[in-house]
Chains A and B, each alone.
Chain A
Amino acid sequence: MNVTTLRTKAESQIREQFDAASASLPGTGWVSALRARAMDTFAAEGLPSRRVEEWKYTDLRDRLREVPAPAAASPGSVTVADIDAALGPVGAIDAERIVLVDGVYRADLSKVTAEATVIELMSLAAMLTKAPAWLEGKFASDGGPVVSLNTAFMSDGVMLKVRKGQDPGRPVLLVHARTSAEPSAIAVRNVISVEVGGKLTLVEAHVALDGAARGALANVVTDVTLADGAACDHIKCLVDTTSSTHLATWNTKLGKDASYSGFQLTASPALARNDINIMFAGEGSKLDLSGVFLARGSEHIDTTLVVDHAVPHCESRELFKGVLADRAHGIFQGKIIVRPDAQKTDGKQMSQALMLSPDAQFSSKPELEIYADDVVCGHGATCTEIDADLLFYCRSRGIPSDVARAMLTESFIGEAVEKIENEDVREAIGTLAIGWLRDE
């Protein structure tokens, strides 16, 4: 019997784009086969709809009516000054800098001064072209539809490694810049690893340069592997007012006694879906995830976490805060799995939304799946307006209502921003967020 899958226009476009582009995407041999398999995996299910539990609040099939064509190679006229202008306060952070423009690594705009004995940096496209056999194992086959699409279309990205026991001493800023004047789609894959005892602060900044088209689509997958005793602070920021769609996936695996602090600032995309998948693979590790999502108009920001405690004696913390104005919709889904062996797990999760309008919407879905019996796990969610008592307190000190409201909104997100350890990064992210809030 033949099964006919009903395709949406977007799904047909994706298939056509793949057929047209696959020959020119980097890599042959097993890489081409990997791409083709990923495309087939994606095509079997298509874009996820609300009938798929994980996509309940973000019906991608319904929302993604058309898919822009893959970005063409950038004309090369981008300057460091253009990038700095788009980065704003983040550009001022003293950091190693790696730049991707329209999904392609740009050595000319990047500046990494750390020794090769500390950091190893390669372009993913170059590696896919070489296609060493060990690389194939880096690409999971079961990452879901968005990751499958990414695998099929990935044009470039970085492979970044911090060597054993090394610490670059300053953050690594990974810039994803978009310049294309035509709506375009990019698919970028980053493979980050921190070897035994190494340390890394990675800041991923997603920016649209002046003149970039509205309605772009970005699909960025970042795989992070922390070896035993490794520590990584991973910060992502997206402030985009060009009506773009942002699909971002973090897949992080923690070894023994590792520590991972993730933070995401997501402001004003038309649609964002942030998937964060954490796997505890070694005992004694710590996870601290936090984030701020800011939306107005009809913007839609979905943060979906899966934290998998597969081993005992690990600790996880999640704190996500949203500010929602107008008819914006914020979503937080947080699943914590505690496997039967994962005794002494300590997990706490909190999501909070501040509603600036009666028409804004916040959907929160915490899920605890606990199969071990000696664990401490908790979750909470709140949805509030600006606290009238606090507002009165500020005003009784002479602070006018609008200033007090702005201050309390900043205070609300401040608790999450404060989680960022690096002071320069924390201040830059805080400035970006406050800039968004004051634009009200």
Chain B
Amino acid sequence: MLEIKNLHARIADDGTEILRGIDLVVPRGEVHAIMGPNGSGKSTLAYVLAGRDDYEITEGDILWNGESIIEMEPDERAAKGVFLAFQYPMEIPGVATMTFLRAALNSVRKKRELKELTTPEFLKLVRAKAAELGVSDEMLKRPLNVGFSGGEKKRMEILQMAVLEPTLCVLDETDSGLDIDAIRIVSEGTTKLRGPDRAMLVITHYQRLLNYIVPDKVHVLAKGRIQKTGGKELALELEKSGYADFTGKAA
């Protein structure tokens, strides 16, 4: 279970407060959506969960399975099962996608006290998951994300998620910049990972992604706080009414 308690966070450089007391609980087995207008703190929340040091937590706590993670390094969090699918995945020229995936998988397996996979085991695993996501062998050989289209990059994020088998998946605007076919592929890949041991937090600006990844709960984030929580129908309401009701409210 993910428990976010009265979380306050600010930009380390200039002290601008972005998160102003977030309270949120996502039990294992559930998918929750976070929706909100631009500048509401959605991406900051995603980064803070993954441990980016550009942000300082000034108050509150984040517990994953009862254990506080806010003092942990990003790679330790990954080993504990936290995974962030980036809104803008990074390009790493000169590092083959396979090499990167292998380094990541072996790192988390080592910390999870599992043995490293042999080369054939690893190739078999990646190829099977890649096929499901329409990621070609050619893409796997290329440097990570270099020259990939927006859709290919997002599929690569989901492939990484599938390979690393995290238990807490945070998807930051995975639908941004994608056409409807790409959204479908990415959503199917994500939906396959739904399971009783896994919690998911799907961050999005638009309702359309939630047609494919149907959430158990929807939270509205604005001005650094959760303003409203409801069922999946809340997403449809927001689609009609927009975020004006929330952005007008005092924080």
Contacts and interface: CB of A to CB of B under 8 A. Distances in A.
A390 B90 contact: yes
A439 interface: no
Interface stretch (A72-80, A178-186, A411-419): A411-419
A392 B107 contact: no
B103 A399 contact: yes
B207 interface: no
A400 B89 CA distance: 19
Given A396-B84, A397-B160, A390 B92 contact: yes
Contact of B51 (A390, A396, A400): A396
Interface string A383-406: 000000110111111111101100
A411 B78 contact: no
B248 interface: no
B74 interface: yes
Contacts of B51: 395-396
B104 interface: yes
Most buried by A among B52, B108, B164: B52
Interface string A414-430: 11011000000000000
Given A407-B95, A407-B103, A397 B78 contact: yes
Given A396-B74, A407-B103, A389 B90 contact: yes
A396 B93 contact: no
Contacts, number: 81
A341 interface: no
Contacts of A401: 73, 75
B94 interface: yes
B213 interface: no
B246 interface: no
A390 B90 CA distance: 6
Nearest to A400: B75
Interface in B78-93: 78-79, 83-84, 86, 89-90, 92-93
A240 interface: no
A414 B78 contact: no
A400 B95 CA distance: 16
Interface in A259-285: none
A198 B164 CA distance: 50
A412 B91 CA distance: 12
Contacts of B90: 389-390, 393
Interface string B61-82: 0000000000001110111000
B86 A393 contact: yes
Contact of B107 (A398, A410, A413): A398
A418 B111 CA distance: 32
B94 A415 contact: yes
A408 interface: yes
A398 B78 CA distance: 5
Contacts of B50: 392, 396
Contacts of B104: 394, 397-399
Most buried by A among B100, B108, B160, B164: B100
Nearest to B81: A398
Nearest to B105: A398
B240 to A, nearest CB: 35
Contacts of B53: 392
A398 B74 CA distance: 7
Given A400-B107, A403-B107, A407-B103, A395 B78 contact: yes
B93 A398 contact: no
A321 to B, nearest CB: 10
Given A392-B52, A396-B78, A403-B103, A411 B73 contact: no
A395 B94 contact: no
Nearest to B144: A411
Nearest to A389: B90
Contacts of B107: 397-400, 403
Contacts of A407: 92, 95, 100, 103
Given A395-B73, A398-B79, A400-B75, A414 B93 contact: yes
Nearest to A387: B90
A398 B73 contact: no
Nearest to B161: A397
B93 A411 contact: yes
Contact of A415 (B75, B89, B93, B108): B93
Contacts of B160: 397
Given A408-B92, A412-B94, A418-B94, A397 B73 contact: no
Interface in B85-128: 86, 89-90, 92-95, 100, 103-105, 107-108, 111
A398 B164 contact: yes
Most buried by B among A392, A408, A410: A392
A399 to B, nearest CB: 5
B147 to A, nearest CB: 13
B57 to A, nearest CB: 16
Contacts of A389: 90
A397 B165 CA distance: 11
Interface in B34-63: 50-53
Nearest to A409: B94
B94 A399 contact: no
A407 B104 CA distance: 11
Contact of A411 (B83, B86, B94, B164): B94
Nearest to B101: A397
B74 A414 contact: no
B83 to A, nearest CB: 8
22 contacts: A392-B52, A393-B92, A394-B92, A395-B51, A395-B74, A396-B50, A396-B51, A396-B83, A396-B84, A397-B75, A398-B79, A398-B104, A398-B111, A399-B103, A399-B107, A400-B75, A400-B107, A401-B73, A410-B95, A412-B94, A414-B94, A414-B95
Q: Top 10 nearest A-B pairs by Cβ distance? A: A414-B94, A398-B78, A411-B94, A398-B108, A397-B104, A395-B74, A393-B90, A398-B107, A395-B75, A411-B95
Given A392-B52, A401-B73, A407-B100, 15 more contacts: A393-B92, A395-B73, A395-B74, A396-B50, A396-B83, A397-B75, A397-B107, A398-B79, A398-B104, A411-B143, A414-B94, A414-B143, A415-B93, A415-B94, A417-B94
Interface of B: 50-53, 73-75, 77-79, 83-84, 86, 89-90, 92-95, 100, 103-105, 107-108, 111, 143, 160, 164
